[in-house]
Amino acid sequence: MTGAWTGYVRAMEHFTIATVAEKSPDFRRVLWTGGHTQLVIMTIPPGGEIGEEVHEGIDQILTFVSGTGEARVAGETKEVVAGDLVVVPAGTKHNFVNTGPNPLVLYTVYGPPDHADGAVHRTKEEAEAAEAAGQDEPPTA
């Protein structure tokens, strides 16, 4: 994308976020993108994971809606369950793994945005392919 991105609206957006996240079968779905942050819901299948990664220059806050898993952040591992929140500062290696028998459902806020506005990736493999092809780039401000 070239030039300044002006696709975000300046009106209120309202989500019953836990309900919206629970209803999404997609690995990753971008719900809202602003000029400085982005709201994304994720569903990680049993035995699945986000994948170890580092976001340079992007902070991330993850809130867990249902399921059980492990947060692996900066070499430390903690169990996560519904209601937990994990902060991942920019530049920190992290991964989130579903350790339970049900989907691990969460929503996350990136600051600044990390994915293409409106992106929907049904599976982790689809998400990785889009990233590799350069089709999941955040809007430019």
Per-residue pLDDT of 3-51, as tens digits, reads 445 565 667 889 999 999 999 999 999 999 999 999 999 999 999 999 9
pLDDT confidence bin for 2, thresholds 50/70/90: very low
Per-residue pLDDT, averaged over 88-116, amounts to: 98
pLDDT confidence bin for 140, thresholds 50/70/90: confident
* CATH code of the domain made up of 25-132: 2.60.120.10
Query: 3-state class of 135 per DSSP?
Result: coil
For 53-71, write each residue's pLDDT tens digit: 999 999 999 999 999 999 9
Q: Whole-prediction pTM value?
A: 0.91
Q: Which residues pair with 49 in a beta bridge?
A: 97
Residue 1's pLDDT is 33
Residue 18's pLDDT is 93
Residue 8's pLDDT is 59
- Secondary-structure percent of the chain, ordered helix, strand, coil, rounded to 5: 10, 40, 50
> Angle at CA 108, nearest 5°, toward 96 and 27?
60
Residue 31's pLDDT is 96
